[in-house]
Amino acid sequence: MSMYQNNSGAKMIGLTKKSKDKKKTKQQEAEEEESSEEETKQVTLVDLLGGGPEESGPEGRSIMFVGDVTEEKAADLISALLVLAQTKDEEDDRAEDIKLYISTYGGSADEMFGIYDVMNFCKQFCDIQTIGLGKVMSAGTLLLAAGTKGKRYVGNHTRVLIHSVNGGSIGELHNLQNEMEQIAGLQESYIQAMSNETSMTKRQIQTLINRKVNVYLSSEEALEKGLADEVWNG
């Protein structure tokens, strides 16, 4: 989990149309490209698993978050969460559950907190099921734990990882001191958030982080520490 932006990872959304008509003018091609870009902006992550927010049922309310926690992917995920959380039938008090599938090695701490805050906002409108598959590490660990209590799942063979916030900077001494203070503040916020979402105390989380190594947890250990509630069986 880094305090600076990680721009790696492919776009999760990139649906554009390409013309097969080679005789079109440059103006027509430019107009089509502009139209295509506008259509792309309107696509959200919910389309990845079939269906849009207007569809009812679980198939239209699932989000797959795979890859690094980057600014681009965080924006896509936040957009999808906000749309789905406030999309419901008129006769219902709350929207149907959102299923958020997570498989990530981690990424930006800033983007992690952005997603985390939006998840907490959305839970006033609907429950969020989180399902950790394969790998849930670093920034992804808090997102798994941030699901609705009782609806957080982890695959039987999923690896979960906790470690301290990483960061680095080059520059004058007073700037380096300022950056270190920022990193320390991010770490404190991370520990507090993890304590809020799990069964671990701040002291227990600090003890894990103080090992100064990546702390890997099995699915059963993740359940014991309150990062998830059940092993996911599909």
174 annotated active-site? no
> Checking DSSP bridges between strand 159-162 and strand 215-217, what pairing results, if any?
antiparallel
147 contacts 130 by C-beta, under 8 angstroms:
yes
Of the listed 2, 62, 79, 138, which one is catalytic? 138
Rounded Cα–Cα distance for residues 118 and 128 (Å): 11
19 annotated active-site? no
Alpha helices (H) along the chain: 26-41, 71-85, 109-122, 139-145, 173-197, 202-209, 219-224
Rounded Cα–Cα distance for residues 121 and 98 (Å): 13
For helices 173-197 and 109-122, angle between their N-to-C axes, nearest 10 degrees: 30
Of the listed 62, 163, 164, 219, which one is catalytic? 163
Catalytic positions, please? 138, 163
